[in-house]
A and B are shown apart, each in its own frame.
Chain A
């Protein structure tokens, strides 16, 4: 089955760290750019970060640049988001998403989404 499954979310104190994972299955993971998108309950989608299929280019939203790191392990079909110096405003449901176009940049449409993992930053 073609799917993405996020994990690693939870409750963390402000200033703390958390590492999210996204396990991919059912497609050639190493052919596709991947992204993280977050959503505060009741609010809109916010792009967080993206990475090309070969990890040679990454991008970050200004709101997380310098605090979050994106990486992938193609041998493990996995995408990661290391989140440091977390703030209350980082509280959201975090989705991983696959870019539709293979072997391209990370600018394409997102044709596969996971169900998300919740992150709560609070004391």
Chain B
């Protein structure tokens, strides 16, 4: 089955830019979705179809996808952005949908 690889952790200072990657074979040919999960809460959709934001998600959150890497970019990081972030794609060849292992964002 298709495998998505995320770094276990990313650290960033407040006000700086965080980039969380999601690696997969030719992931650029797939649609990637991103979720934020705060401790004790259900995941929340942040980015869908590579770079679109649901209503209510700040413009500080953006996504890109090309080649073998998709990237979630968080600009002007705030303390409240500290959470786990997951990438997600569908694999039509196996009729399965797959999550990355998750990245814990720490705001220093």
Residues of chain A within 8 A (CB-CB) of B42 are: 95, 113-116
Q: Write the nearest CB–CB distance from A40 to chain B, whole angstroms.
A: 12
Interface CB pairs A-B, < 8 A, 22: A44-B84, A45-B35, A45-B99, A45-B102, A46-B99, A95-B43, A100-B54, A105-B90, A105-B92, A106-B97, A107-B92, A108-B33, A108-B48, A108-B90, A109-B48, A109-B88, A110-B35, A110-B45, A113-B42, A113-B43, A113-B44, A116-B42
* Interface size grouping (class) on chain A: 20 to 34
In the bound complex, how far is the Cα of B70 from the Cα of A7, in angstroms? Answer: 35
Interface residues of B toward A: which range?
20 to 34
Q: Measured between alpha carbons, how far is A117 from B33 in the docked complex, in Å? A: 24
- Confirm or deny: B98 has a beta carbon within 8 angstroms of a beta carbon on chain A: yes
Q: Contact at B45–A47, with CB atoms within 8 Å? A: no
B101 within 8 A of A: yes
Partner of B45, one of A59, A95, A111: A111
Contacts of B45 in A (CB 8 A): 100, 109-111
A46 to B, closest residue via Cβ: B99
Contact A100 B48 (CB under 8 A): yes
Task: Determine if A13 is an interface residue (Cβ-Cβ < 8 Å).
Answer: no
* Nearest 6 interchain pairs by C-beta: A107-B90, A109-B48, A109-B33, A59-B95, A113-B42, A44-B102
A59 touches B96 (CB 8 A): yes
List of A residues within 8 angstroms of B102 by Cβ: 44-45
- Answer whether residue A57 sits at the interface, using C-beta atoms and an 8 A cutoff: yes
Q: Are B43 and A44 in contact (CB under 8 A)?
A: no
User: By the criterion CB–CB under 8 Å, are A44 and B86 in contact?
Assistant: yes
Q: In whole angstroms, how far apart are the Cα atoms of A102 and B54 in the complex?
A: 15
Q: Is A1 an interface residue (CB 8 A)?
A: no
